[in-house]
Amino acid sequence: MLVVVTGPARSGKSRIATELAFSCGKPVVVVAGGQESDPEMARRIAHHQAERPVEWRTLEVEEATGWMGDVDAGECVVVECLGTLVARMMGGLCWDDPDHVSEQAETMLGMKADLLVEELYNREGDTIVISNEVGWSVVPETPSGRLFRDVLGRATARLVDSADAAWLAVAGRCIELTGYPRSVTWDDVNGDSE
C-alpha cells in the first residue's frame, strides 16, 4: 500500500505519518534524506527522531534512489521526506550556481524524480511518503529554487495519483485527497446544464 501525506511546513505531516506507521502493526523503517548541514538542521533532525518510537529503524540515505534493497517487504517504510530526497538529487546538477540552471540539469532532475516515483510506486510492502507543498508561498528567487519547487510539485502530484490513499495536512488537520477529482468540467462548475 502506498500512502502520501503532503502539506505545508509545520502542518502536522510527520505526526500524521508517524501515527499511520505506528497503527500499521509492522516493523517501521524511516528513510531519512536530510543532512545535518548546520546546528539548526541538526536540532530539527533530532526533534523528529525523538518523536518516533525507539524500536523504529532509521535508514539515512545519501542517494535519493537505490536504497530499496536495504528494506524488507514486510517493513513499513516512512519516507521523511520527498523534498529532502529531491534536494539530494539536485546536488551536482545546479547547487554550484543557483543563479544558473541548464536545460540539461532540468531534464536530468526530472528523470531522477520520475525514477524515484516509480521505485516508490512499485515497492512491495507498505510505504508512507511525506512531501512538502512548497508552491504555496512566494516564488523562489533563484532558478534552482524554482526548479526544486517545480520538480517536487510534479513528483508529489504523480505519487498522489498513484497512491492508495493520500492526505493533505493543514494546521494539524487531515483532508483526504483520494476521492477528489483530478479535473473538473464546466458542468461541474455550472451544475446540471438541463
Model pTM above 0.85: yes
Confidence of residue 45 (pLDDT cuts 50, 70, 90): confident
Supply the pLDDT for residue 188. 83
Write down the catalytic residue from 27, 35, 48, 125.
48
Supply the pLDDT for residue 130. 97
Is the confidence at residue 194, as pLDDT, over 60? Answer: no
Domains, the chain, in order of start with CATH, read 2-190 (3.40.50.300)
Is the confidence at residue 28, as pLDDT, over 60? Answer: yes
Is the confidence at residue 119, as pLDDT, over 70? Answer: yes
Supply the pLDDT for residue 149. 94
CA 170 to chain CA centroid, Å, is 15
Confidence of residue 88 (pLDDT cuts 50, 70, 90): confident
Burial group, residue 46, by CB count within 10 angstroms (0-12, 13-18, 19+):
exposed
Widest CA span in the chain: 63
State yes or no: is 48 an active-site residue.
yes
> Mean of the pLDDT values across residues 180-188?
87
Confidence of residue 124 (pLDDT cuts 50, 70, 90): very high
User: Which among 17, 86, 75, 1 is positioned nearest to 51, based on CA atoms?
Assistant: 17
